[in-house]
A = this chain, B = another copy of it.
């Protein structure tokens, strides 16, 4: 099997992560609750993991809130922001349904306007001055931008976008689900929240994700339940992080993250995955039957390459690759609704997406690329 769907979840994880999961699952206690020794040891690991998440990008003076998934992190942020009728919300054309569907729900229930941030369809560059004008005309209350597009692998210039929107004191939400841990974030970025997903670029297991909150940012709580503290009080403490984390901690998933971050700090995953990405683009470009969704400056593409074949629609090509070659790629719309209008793939069933991982080698790309010659 050649696995080329690392954007859905990275596979394989590093061996040390598997070992840690085995150990952690055999020693899984309910942390943050019991006051006996093993429960307290687990609580310490949770606090260390928060610190490690921040240290990956040298971030200080921020809180880390854990959630079971990046989707729930984004629900917590979007429904937690104190939106008012008439507010303008900006989104990049690359946003995932984890952003778009909660926002659409808000749009339906209150009068907010969702505005797409302009990008050039040829160069994939942000249209900066056009955005500046838009912000002047319609002041941003919140801005949502991905770090890396989960469909085309574009490294998005969120830093410039947030720099512009921060003049209006907007909530700036960076969805780093597709890059956190590998693709560096400048800690001077004017973000309010950064969302991360453990099982993707952080190389941990399913079940742990969360968000970083810049000091001073405030959202309403949307989940309620036991926090292990002040049990007689029917109202929850509204302090980060504990007031935003309800129910038992998934300590096994947290330990997998604790371990994967140690590994990430000692491994240059970025350089390797970038090299594989570049090679993949070059090799796919040689095939004249393929239409790549890659800008001229392919240096802006990381980890993910999207394309369509002239003779097969995406779904069929995916099936052929799976059944005849045991190659796993992802086809379709990838839960990102806006980008297909932008790419012109809305009416043709989306596209094929190939995404790389730390364990992939040049020879895997060669095998994949070779398969097209016989299709």
Contact = CB atoms under 8 A, between A and B. Distances in A.
A206 B28 contact: yes
Q: How many copies does the complex hold?
A: 2
A173 to B, nearest CB: 14
A72 B224 CA distance: 8
Contact of A330 (B8, B34, B235, B333): B34
A39 B250 contact: no
A18 interface: yes
Interface stretch (A137-145, A289-297, A321-329, A356-364): A321-329
Nearest to A251: B206
- At the interface, is chain A mostly helix, strand, loop or mixed? loop
A121 B5 CA distance: 58
B247 A98 contact: yes
A178 interface: no
A246 B97 CA distance: 10
Interface string A304-336: 000000000001001101110011111111111
A122 interface: no
B315 A35 contact: yes
Interface residues of A, number: 84
A279 interface: no
A72 B5 CA distance: 29
A21 B233 CA distance: 37
Interface in A327-375: 327-337, 340, 346, 350
Contact of A35 (B105, B224, B233, B319): B319
A233 B337 contact: yes
Interface stretch (A63-71, A154-162, A280-288): A63-71
8 residue pairs, one from A and one from B, having the closest CB atoms:
A71-B247, A226-B335, A68-B68, A231-B333, A8-B30, A71-B225, A207-B207, A101-B224
22 contacts: A5-B34, A9-B30, A12-B26, A13-B28, A18-B25, A21-B252, A22-B22, A25-B256, A34-B328, A36-B329, A37-B322, A37-B323, A37-B328, A68-B69, A68-B250, A97-B224, A97-B225, A105-B224, A207-B253, A231-B332, A231-B336, A234-B337
